[in-house]
Amino acid sequence: MSESAIRRLSLYLRALEEMGDDGEEIVSSRLLAERVGTTGPQVRKDLSLFGSFGTRGLGYAVRPLRVRLRDILGLSRRWSVALVGAGRIGAALVAYPSFRERGFEIVTILDNDPEKIGTRWNGIAIGPVERMEEAFRRNPAEVAILAVPAEAAQDAADALVRVGVRGIMNLAPVRLRVPEGVAVKHVDMAVELESLSFALRHLVR
Amino acid sequence: MSESAIRRLSLYLRALEEMGDDGEEIVSSRLLAERVGTTGPQVRKDLSLFGSFGTRGLGYAVRPLRVRLRDILGLSRRWSVALVGAGRIGAALVAYPSFRERGFEIVTILDNDPEKIGTRWNGIAIGPVERMEEAFRRNPAEVAILAVPAEAAQDAADALVRVGVRGIMNLAPVRLRVPEGVAVKHVDMAVELESLSFALRHLVR
DNA sequence: CTTCTCTTGTGAATGATTTCACAAGGATTC
DNA sequence: GAATCCTTGTGAAATCATTCACAAGAGAAG
């Protein structure tokens, strides 16, 4: 069950959601593949990892497959999210509507800037990072979004693990070390830009 | 030359830059690997794709390797960047200092909100998206950062390709279709969160 | 100058992922 | 209800990536 297969499931789900709005009832692996930029066999292999949801000769029923994918991805439940770091990136994320739509609800926001502490974002009062434990006692969260400067990221991650966070989406340009049983996803803009730069080196001039 | 190898190079470079500041002259593949969360042999294989930069029995000289990696990744030149979409995500990116440090210089900012057009960010006046061609004639860019809503992303990407952009870093939750010869990197928060959710499904409760 | 220690660079082996090819089996038509 | 048309589901093959194992070679020590 590879990481990349899972990410494709997420893309399939998105495509199915866009389709549903257009009223399509049935979709073939080839069509789904086209929307996502992969191949029919790939789609079928990915789905077959979790069962057989299609009907031969016809394709996949959009709505049921959508439900099934949401279920597989763990999106049929609510996840409570703590946002650590109320800088510009944090601000962008709080405003990102997909989070809530997908069942990720920000319940706690922490920062260490005295200017910000006490102000409200989306109705949530920003608390001091040092009081993480207290904040989690009031509003526990399974997931954290880490949007602090690189230097502060590892300490914040350690603290998050201590208060029981099981998944971290890290936006700081640092590779976090976390114990077994805690999942981390890195969204690393610098790495992305640099790999773009590498690709360009061979395309430009 | 796999995508993942390139991304690791970027991580090695970052580690080397952090080291250099601490005055370390020589680093072994094992040590570098540790900082990046991979293995010695992996580091050596990755580097050997581009030549042999180490000395046996000793390791790699930090500074020269750093220079070499920057070169390989295409970071030893300046890249002009156009930012399309001056929302919250755009704001976060403009303020992100690593961009400039890495040689990516934002020279143009475009949006379609009349409220924003004309205001200045970091000294750059925000122009209207419809006048992209004009903006590019004044300030050409090889790279674009696309931070617009999903619905607008494909059109914006098409326009960017028309005015000569060769690399797009896309932050909208859409898979862009671009012609051969244009590189795209997707930073897809939703996919990331959902794959985190999948991992958690098996870790929590 | 020989020996010992260390770490690179790399072919070979292993493991993972993707692609292929096709049998299985619904739906539709005549 | 047989024949035809489709598209799935899936082993097998091919490709791609990582790990392993070790010869090659640099430096240090005696």
> What CATH number has the domain bearing residue B138?
3.40.50.720
Q: Which nucleotides of D are covered by protein (CB under 7 A)?
A: 5-11, 16-21, 24-27
Rg of the Cα trace of chain A?
A: 20
The answer to whether residue B197 sits within a structural domain is no
For residues B18 and B44, state if they share a domain.
yes
Q: Which residue in this structure is represented by tokens 């809503």?
A: B149
Give residue-wise pLDDT tens across range B92-143: 999 988 889 899 999 999 999 999 999 999 999 999 999 999 999 999 999 9
Range of the domain at B131: 79-191
Question: How many Cβ atoms from other residues are within 10 Å of residue B159's Cβ?
Answer: 18
State both tokens at B111: 């949006």
Would you call A8 exposed, middle or buried from its count of C-beta atoms within 10 A (0-12, 13-18, 19+)? buried
Please tell me the distance from the alpha carbon of residue B168 to that of residue B116, in angstroms, as a whole number.
23
Tokens of residue B47, six digits: 């580097």
Domain end, chosen from A72, A92, A113, is at A72
Band of pLDDT at residue A83, cut at 50, 70 and 90: very high
Within 58-77 of chain A, which residues have Cβ less than 7 Å from strand C?
Answer: 58
Compute the distance between CA of residue A38 and CA of residue A41 in angstroms, rounded to an integer: 9
Q: How many domains does chain B have?
A: 2
Q: Which of residues 34-73 of A touch strand D (CB under 7 A)?
A: 40-41, 44-45, 47-48, 52-60
d(CA B134, CA B140): 9
Looking at the predicted structure, is the pLDDT value of residue B204 above 90? no
From CA B156, how far away is CA B151, in angstroms rounded? 10
Strand residue runs (E) in B77-177: 79-84, 104-111, 120-121, 124-128, 143-146, 167-170
Whether B180 and B118 have beta carbons less than 8 Å apart is answered as: no
Looking at the structure, do residues A104 and A184 belong to the same domain, yes or no?
yes
- For chain A, percent of residues with pLDDT exceeding 90: 90
| Chain-centroid distance, C-alpha A144 | 10
